[in-house]
Amino acid sequence: MLHSIMNFISLWALPLILLLILTMGLVKKVPLYEVFTDGAKEGFSVSINIIPYLVAIIVAISMLRASGIIEMAGEFLAPVLAHFNTPADVIPIMLVRSLSGSAALGIFSDIAHNLGPDNYATTLAAVMVGSSETTFYVLAVYFGAVGISKLRYALIVGLIADLVGIILAITVCNFMFA
């Protein structure tokens, strides 16, 4: 039941938004085609403008991931987190999810395939990945698009929130699934 509602929402959300925008535009006599192409023109410049910011962040993060420090931090954290019933397999996800969304999803897929659906690590990893957003990427893209280089407290807020999210995910999963 829930599953079919879910599928329905994810299938129809986008088409419905498009129908709403276009129908309302037509009713209000907005010249749809002209206005659309006029707005779309900016797509190119915005995408190109974010390249320097993306290069800075993505290169730095690629270097960090290649350096092996995430594995080092994982080994350091494993005994601590074992006290909180947190399997070592999930630690790389915690460390990587603010840096790279595709990497976090990749690690989660590995866990799910290797440890199987009945393992607690799979569930915890699912909740952790499902509740996360790639903080560094979001900041680089959004601030890059408008040319802002002084982020003030935006990154700190994002990272503290990520940490709180991890702690919550561990707590909630321990309570519900362990």
Partner 1 sequence: MNYIFYLLIVVSIIAGAINGKLNDVVNAILSGAELSVKVAFSLIGIMAFWLGMMKIAEKCGLIAIIAKIIKPITKFLFNEIPEDSPAIGDIAMSFSANAFGLTNAATPIGIKAMEELQRQNVDKSSASNAMCVFLAMNTAGFQLIPATVIAVLIGVGYKNPTAIIAPTLLVTSVTFVFAILLAKLFQRFWVPQNRKEAE
Comparing CA positions, the residue from 104, 92, 171 lying closest to residue 135 is 104
Residue 75 as a binder of partner 1 (CB under 8 A): the answer is no
Nearer to partner 1, 67 or 85 (CB): 67
Between CA 36 and CA 139 the distance in angstroms is 27
Residues 6+ apart with CB under 8 A from 104: 93, 96, 97, 128, 129, 132, 134
Nearer to partner 1, 91 or 143 (CB): 143
Nearer to partner 1, 37 or 79 (CB): 37
State which of residues 59, 80, 82, 178 lies at the interface with partner 1 (CB under 8 A): 59
CB of 50 to partner 1, least distance (A): 6
- Amino acid at site 151: L
Residue 156 as a binder of partner 1 (CB under 8 A): the answer is yes
Nearer to partner 1, 79 or 117 (CB): 117
State which of residues 61, 93, 96, 103 lies at the interface with partner 1 (CB under 8 A): 61
Q: Are 134 and 96 in contact (CB under 8 A)?
A: no
